[in-house]
Amino acid sequence: MIHAAKDTLKVVNDFENKLTTAVERMKLFGTIGVPEVHIKVPVQGCSHESKLPNTEFNLELGFVSADASLGSCPFTAGTALKTAKLSSDDSDTPSATVFYSSSEGLGVILDVDDSIKITNVLNKSLVTENTLYKDPVPVAGMPDLYSHLLKSLTTKSIPPQFLYVSGSPSNYTLSSPSFFSLIFRKPMISGDADEGKVDYKVKQINRIQGMYPKKRFLAVGDSTEMDPEVCGKIFKQHEGFLRCIWIHMDGAKNSQARFDAAFEGIPKDKYRLYKDSDIGTLKDIDVARGKC
């Protein structure tokens, strides 16, 4: 009887914990953005205070995304960070952290869901479960791989830059902020067509290329959605910008005809299709020297 009571108590506690987590995350999906807010960005040590344009109104968080000049900043590659005190029209003053990144060197552009984090985007019940109350779980072997890339892609004392490009709703990505260091977000729009997802990610990666035209990147994605098509377009649009393309073959959309179409005209030694069992071997590839 005591054992049964303990088991019952554990089930109740697990349910309550999951319910509490789900309620907190659902609040993010109910957030309404505040339009027409001006953001000031003074950064410690920089000569200029930047002013960002108005936030946009949408059904979410009122994001503003824009390039901004901070004047002269005494940053050194590989050193620490600078603190920004953001202020807005409504007197809100949150803190933010500014990461220095050299205009040259190497980097990694990554998808998130089912590339580095288990989401199961093709299974509605599992994606709901992972979104609402489960803690984020990395794809096995990927944290170790990225620790390796941090060392192997460092060139001339310039550490690689890791940029996350996701088509997931911003509400979803914000449910686990500690899992990411930087991510581009989009408004939550249901029923996005595949073409829309391609256009969105291509646009965001084009922004990265505009900011870092001298950097060279390894692109890491997966086959559950449209990453092969996105990477194929970017490779052909900006010669040399993507040094390598790695696609995690996950789910059922792995026909050779699909990959042939996505990578048409791209040398076969510039892209790699890998399975879970191959992740441990990716550390043996010398991306810094142009191997893929």
Same domain, 194 and 255: yes
| pLDDT value for 189 | 36
pLDDT band with cut points at 50, 70 and 90 for residue 183: very low
Of residues 171, 219, 227, the one with CA closest to residue 200: 227
Last residue of a domain, one of 65, 84, 100: 100
Q: Which of 24-33, 119-128, 153-162 has the highest mean pLDDT?
A: 153-162
Q: Which of 43-57, 94-108, 171-185 has the highest mean pLDDT?
A: 94-108
Q: Is the dihedral of CA 285, 289, 291, 292 positive or negative?
A: positive
Query: Considering the chain, what percentage of its residues have pLDDT values greater than 90?
Result: 27
**171: containing domain:** 106-289
Q: In the predicted model, is pLDDT for residue 120 greater than 90?
A: no
| pLDDT value for 186 | 42
Same domain, 279 and 138: yes
Looking at the 3D structure of the chain, how many domains does it have? Answer: 3
Give me the helices (H) in 92-226, please.
Answer: 124-132, 142-152, 170-173, 194-211
Same domain, 208 and 251: yes
d(CA 143, CA 258) in angstroms, rounded, equals 28
Same domain, 113 and 64: no
> Could you read off the pLDDT of 191-233 as tens digits, one per residue?
345 667 788 889 889 988 998 999 999 999 888 888 899 999 9
β-sheet bridge partners, residue 158: 155
d(CA 78, CA 76) in angstroms, rounded, equals 6
What is the rounded average pLDDT for all residues in the chain?
76
Q: Tell me, letter by letter, the H, E, C secondary structure of 156-191.
A: CCECCEEEEEEEEEHHHHCCCHHHCCCEEEECCCCC
d(CA 113, CA 168) in angstroms, rounded, equals 8
How many angstroms from the chain centroid is the CA of residue 73?
Answer: 26
d(CA 197, CA 251) in angstroms, rounded, equals 18
| pLDDT value for 181 | 40
Same domain, 164 and 269: yes
| pLDDT value for 185 | 42
d(CA 245, CA 285) in angstroms, rounded, equals 12
d(CA 280, CA 143) in angstroms, rounded, equals 11
> Could you read off the pLDDT of 78-87 as tens digits, one per residue?
555 667 777 7
d(CA 186, CA 130) in angstroms, rounded, equals 19
> Could you read off the pLDDT of 10-25 as tens digits, one per residue?
555 676 777 777 677 6
| pLDDT value for 60 | 47
Which pTM value belongs to this model? 0.74
Are residues 229 and 264 in contact, defined by beta-carbon separation less than 8 angstroms?
no
Same domain, 80 and 217: no
| pLDDT value for 84 | 74
| pLDDT value for 91 | 65
| pLDDT value for 40 | 79
Same domain, 176 and 125: yes
The maximal CA–CA distance of the chain, rounded, in angstroms, is 71
Last residue of a domain, one of 44, 67, 100: 100
| pLDDT value for 168 | 61
For residue 222 the two structure tokens come to: 């997966």
Q: Which residue carries 């990927």 as its tokens?
A: 142
d(CA 100, CA 221) in angstroms, rounded, equals 25
For residue 254, report the phi and psi dihedrals to the nearest 5 degrees: -120, 35
Strands 183-186 and 95-98: unpaired
d(CA 191, CA 165) in angstroms, rounded, equals 19
Residue 230 is part of a domain; what is its CATH number? 3.40.50.1000
End-to-end alpha-carbon separation of the chain, Å?
A: 60
Same domain, 72 and 115: no
d(CA 11, CA 119) in angstroms, rounded, equals 24
Same domain, 36 and 61: yes
Strands 242-248 and 271-274: parallel
| pLDDT value for 263 | 97
Last residue of a domain, one of 49, 80, 100: 100
Same domain, 54 and 117: no
Same domain, 168 and 256: yes
Same domain, 191 and 80: no
Query: Considering the chain, what percentage of its residues have pLDDT values greater than 70?
Result: 65
Q: Which of 82-86, 108-112, 120-124, 131-135 has the highest mean pLDDT?
A: 108-112
> Could you read off the pLDDT of 222-280 as tens digits, one per residue?
888 888 999 999 999 999 999 999 999 987 788 999 999 999 999 999 999 999 899 99
